[in-house]
Structure 1
Amino acid sequence: MTLANYCLIVACLLPVLSAALAKSRGFGKRRREGGFDNHDPRAWLGRQTGWQARANAAQANGFEALPLFIAGVLAAQQMHHDQSRIDLLAMAFIASRLVFIALYLADLPSLRSLVWAVGVALSIGLFFV
């Protein structure tokens, strides 16, 4: 398996990590005390504020970023592009997503948007390496 294929797995897990962060303050509390509500988790997440709400938004954005990245890696490999370049772009994408999540949590929207654009460019770049 290539490094880019491992990056596909990591990219698929990053939204799960963001969701865990969004829910983290609610674990261990009882539902009636405002703790995580596994009976209605989406509504519970929708009521969160601050960094938890931003972590939930990062989760949604992570899922939105996946299709283009997955398609880019698979298309690049199917077209037999240079694997080392594919691996490099895939690792850069993962790095950009980690920075994106950190900037989302830190509430730095302008930098976050810039890093998001870099991630999209990296995904598109995979089609042309």
Structure 2
Amino acid sequence: MTVALWCLFAAAIFHPLSKFPLAAAQAREGKGYDNRNPREQQDRLTGWGARARAVHANQIESFPLFAAGVLVATVAAPKVAAIDTLALAYIAARLIYPVLYLKDIHVGRSLVWGVGYIASLALLSSPAWA
């Protein structure tokens, strides 16, 4: 299995991991975690809790483009070293992004998001340059 495919697996694991801060925020809100109506409870979150919700949503939103990029790159250019580097750049960005978002470092967060997005686009366009 290539590094890029391992990165795809890791990115899939980020989904439940990105839920942990959100669940912690929900548990501290009101009467604890509301498993019957979690989305309604999430709507009431403010500050750090609202940012935790945004981190989780953004992780889910960023995954399809990255997954498509890795799969296209794996099929079209499986031996190009840049493919693994781009996949690792996405993973690094997705590890840093939640920390910056939760700490409300908005400019850094946006820059790191851009790195992940550009890496995904580069993977998706790899047949054009490989």
Q: Normalized against structure 2, the TM-score is what?
A: 0.86
Report the AA paired with residue 118 of structure 1. V
Matches within 5 A, 1:34-45: 34-45=31-42
Alignment RMSD: 1.9
Tell me the number of residue pairs that the alignment of Structure 1 and Structure 2 aligns.
Answer: 126
CA distance in 2, matches of 1:94, 1:72: 13
The equivalent residue for 1:61 is: 58
The equivalent residue for 1:15 is: 15
The equivalent residue for 1:115 is: 112
CA distance in 2, matches of 1:62, 1:25: 17
SS at 1:22 equivalent = helix
* Superposed CA offset, 1:45-67 (max 9, x none): 22122222111101111111111
Q: Normalized against structure 1, the TM-score is what?
A: 0.87
Match of 2:70 among 66, 73, 77: 73
The runs of 5 or more residues in structure 1 that have no matched partner are: none
The runs of 5 or more residues in structure 2 that have no matched partner are: none
* Alpha carbons of structure 1 residues 52 and 15: separation in structure 2 relative to 1, 3 Å: farther
